[in-house]
Structure formats: C-alpha cells, structure tokens
C-alpha cells in the first residue's frame, strides 16, 4: 500500500515537534497537524509564559531586599497590561520560531485538527490523508471540578490573558500549577488564598520539600486552607463568594474573592480524536489531583496506553507526552519523541528511561528534586535508607533580615552508599539540582559527594558537606 506520508504527527507541542524534526532528518516524509498555536502547552500556555511571570513576581521582594545592602529604591508599580502583553509577544515569537524550524526540517505543517478515520487514515482540514506510521502527541488540558457555580472559575490557560490584575484570588488545588500561581500572584501583589483537599501541598513530593514550600509560602503571606470539602461559588456585588466546608466540621465557611483559579489537574486531549476508529486503547489516567470523591466531584480520566517504545495497541500508532500515562514534563515528551524517531526511522532502537527524571516547582520558595523521595526509598528498601539533610539561612539573606530558609536533602541506600534522591527548597533550586541529577543518574555514592570540593560560598556546596 502506498501512503501519503511515512509519518503523520498529531499535535505540534514539545513531543510532536521533536519527533517530527528528528524523523525528517532521517529522510522520512513527515507532516504534522496542530489546531492551535504551534509550540504546545509549554510554549503557549505553560512553562514559558509561567516562568516569565515568575520572574516578574520576584522584583518586589528584590526591591525590599536591596535596602539591607544600602540601596534606596523608590516607589514601584506594576503595569499589569504591559507585562501580559510582553509575555504574549514572546510566546508568539517562539511559536513562529518553531514554525520556521519545521519548514527548515522539511516537515509539512497543517494548521488544522486531525481525526482518525481508520488505523492509517486521518481527516485533516476536510481531506483524507494516509500515513504508514502515526504519532499522537496531543498533550493535555486543565480540568475543572464539578460543583455549583464552577462556571465562575478560570483555569491556568486563562491566567495569562487576564485584562486586569485581581486584588484577591482563590486557588483550588495543591499541585504544582496551583502552588506556582499562588507564588506568582502573591509576588505581584494580589491577596492569595490557596484551598486544598488534603493536609498538605504537592502530594507525591518528598515530605521535607512539601513542608519547606508551605512554610515559605506562609511566610510570604499566602493563606493556605487544608482539608476543604464540598464547594460552591456564586456571584455577589463584591465579587465571587466561595462557600465551603472543612473536613470534620459542619459549619459552612465563605470567602469573597475576585478570581477563582481551578488548578486541580490536567487530562489528555483525547475527546473527538477518533481513537475508536483506529483501535487505540486507553487506560485510566493517574493525573495530579484527579481522583473520584463523593464530595469534590473530581473524575478519573483516560490516557493512551503505550509500551516502553511508545507503541499503542496498534503496532504502527505511537503516542508520547502528556496524552500518555507517564511523566508529564516537557523534557520527557521531547526525549520520548526523539527516542521514537530514532527507533522507527533512524535504525537505532532505544527507549527513554523514566527513572531519575529531575523536576522543579517554580514556587516561592522554589524547589527541585531528582530520584526517590525518602518515603519511596523506604518502600523499596525498608530500613536500609539513610538521609542527610540541612536547613539554613542563605548568605544573601544575612543582610536582608528576611526569614528565608533553604532545605537540602540526600536520600542514600545504606547498603551500597548510592545516592537515591536529592531534594532542595530554596533559591536557584532548579539550577542546582540539574547538575546534581547527572551524579544521581550516573550512580554516584555519598562518598563521591563527600570527595567533591564545594564552591565557597554557595548554596550548592552544602550538598557535598552533608554529614
């Protein structure tokens, strides 16, 4: 059978872009379809615009800290419209840049939706297109809980396009998206209340990270309300009235705010994709903050089932990135996409390892991690785990007077001395853990860390002086 393309990619996000360009470099005839802006979640409505807003939110604290060093900073004021427009312009620049990369690689771009007609056929912009191999890289989207008045809420997608800065904002959800936006909006001057269903933020992270971030957020003035149950929202003259109960309490509480951000998790963009026409199986997802409860109205969602080579239940159809039930991070999607292309078109069969994947939470304070948490290590090894930790005030804040604390931690296999995990809360955590991730990935031992000289004075040196 003759096909129109050797490879057709559905979705021009991080994974789809990486896979299409790599496959084309091997001589494959490749096309890619994207119904939104090229770049995907990370570039358009995730990592990049969020990090730019994180940078913007740091300036008020820096102005205040400068006084401890003898600087006198005058009155400052945020031009919200300018910031939002500047961020949007950078997003558009990057999207156009990615279109240029596709053109240079020889990948044909269809700026339209692609839907399966049968296992080898897609309908794109009103025409039928066939491909020998198909890669699904459609990513995910934020979801909202189901309770009365949910139509009054926004999601992380809309956060980047608010025309005015809210004086008050309530954030529903204790995952990394909610935590990051809590820090951003607090830093920019909004009054922030974060409401979570559990006892603490960031379920699944190391307990020292969870505690360190929450303590820092509280010091910065963010109100965190735990064990929140059964909510409803209604519009009132003063804004939005959020009514809720707390677990174990019968009294209804209320909070009036200007904006309510629903940040309970994300789910794959599978609706209307026609997977049933292609015979592609899905499995229950395991996405952050997404579990069925009788009071919260959250739902279990589906993801595409894949094997270690990103192959679906159809041997010629593959999936990478956030539409699968694996680790939902941009670098992971890129690595999965390139491994797929190398295997299928580059005569270099390989898999992408999902072990020891570093990640960061650009909260305030910032946190980063790689490897096993202390709890995961104990679950795997029992009592054969030794942890080294330190908490201290960074040198920078010795003159600012701020109660900032940095926490660092190593999780070690007591039998082999191998470092199983490294965790940090504090300034530049992501930059520091990125380097340490190399050592963890290579199987470094605690003795290797001890034998490494530190750079003094720095926060990073604490990782090689832990005793």
Catalytic residue check, 219: no
Phi/psi of residue 295, nearest 5 degrees:
-115, -25
Phi/psi of residue 94, nearest 5 degrees:
-65, -35
- 349: which 2 tokens? 């069969």
d(CA 449, CA 421) in angstroms, rounded, equals: 13
- Whether the CB-CB separation of 154 and 262 falls below 8 Å is answered with yes
d(CA 339, CA 2) in angstroms, rounded, equals: 26
d(CA 453, CA 462) in angstroms, rounded, equals: 10
E-state strands within 73-147:
108-110, 114-118, 121-124, 127-136, 140-142
> Which one from 72, 378, 428, 456 is the annotated catalytic residue?
456
Largest CA distance in the chain: 75
Rounded-to-10 torsion of CA 319, 320, 322, 325: 70
- Whether the CB-CB separation of 298 and 288 falls below 8 Å is answered with no
d(CA 26, CA 45) in angstroms, rounded, equals: 31
- DSSP type of residue 186: H
Q: Which helix H or strand E contains 304, and what residues bound it?
A: strand 302-304
Which residues are the active-site residues? Answer: 456
């Amino acid at each position: 059978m003759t096909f129109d393309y050797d490879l057709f990619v559905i979705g021009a996000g991080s994974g789809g872009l990486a896979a299409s360009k790599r496959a084309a470099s091997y001589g494959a005839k490749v096309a890619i379809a994207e119904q939104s802006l090229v770049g995907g979640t990370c570039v358009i409505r995730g990592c990049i615009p969020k990090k730019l807003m994180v940078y913007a939110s740091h300036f008020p604290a820096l102005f205040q800290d400068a006084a401890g060093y003898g600087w006198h900073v005058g009155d400052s004021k945020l031009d919200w419209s300018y910031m939002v427009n500047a961020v949007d312009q950078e997003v558009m620049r990057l999207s156009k840049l990615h279109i240029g990369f596709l053109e240079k690689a020889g990948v044909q771009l269809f700026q339209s939706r692609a839907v399966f007609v049968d296992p080898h056929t897609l309908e794109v912009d009103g025409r039928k297109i066939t491909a020998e191999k198909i890669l699904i890289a459609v990513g995910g989207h934020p979801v909202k809980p189901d309770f009365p008045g949910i139509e009054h809420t926004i999601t992380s997608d809309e956060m980047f396009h608010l025309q005015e800065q809210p004086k008050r904002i309530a954030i529903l959800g204790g995952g990394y998206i909610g935590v990051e936006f809590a820090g951003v909006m607090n830093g920019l001057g909004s009054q922030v209340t974060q409401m979570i269903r559990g006892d603490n933020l960031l379920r699944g992270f190391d307990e020292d990270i969870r505690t360190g971030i929450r303590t820092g957020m509280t010091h910065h003035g963010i109100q965190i309300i735990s064990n929140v149950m059964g909510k409803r929202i209604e519009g009132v003259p003063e804004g939005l009235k959020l009514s809720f109960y707390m677990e174990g309490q019968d009294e209804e509480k209320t909070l009036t705010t200007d904006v309510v951000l629903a940040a309970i998790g994300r789910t794959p963009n599978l609706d209307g994709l026609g997977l049933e026409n292609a015979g592609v199986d899905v499995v229950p997802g395991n996405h952050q903050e997404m579990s069925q409860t009788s009071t919260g109205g959250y739902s279990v969602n589906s993801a595409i089932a894949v094997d270690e080579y990103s192959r679906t239940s159809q041997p010629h159809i593959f999936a990478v990135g956030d539409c699968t039930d694996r680790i939902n991070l941009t670098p992971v999607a890129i690595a999965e996409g390139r491994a797929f292309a190398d295997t299928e078109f580059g005569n270099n069969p390989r898999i992408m390892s999902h072990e020891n994947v570093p990640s960061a939470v650009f909260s305030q304070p910032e946190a980063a991690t790689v490897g096993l948490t202390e709890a995961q290590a104990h679950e795997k090894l029992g009592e054969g785990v030794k942890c080294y930790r330190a908490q201290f005030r960074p040198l920078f804040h010795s003159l600012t007077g701020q109660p900032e604390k940095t926490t660092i931690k190593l999780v070690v296999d007591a039998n082999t001395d191998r470092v199983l995990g490294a965790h940090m809360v504090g300034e530049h955590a992501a930059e520091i853990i990125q380097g340490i991730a190399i050592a963890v990935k290579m199987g470094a031992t605690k003795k290797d860390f001890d034998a490494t000289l530190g750079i003094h004075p720095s926060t990073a040196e604490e990782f090689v002086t832990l005793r």
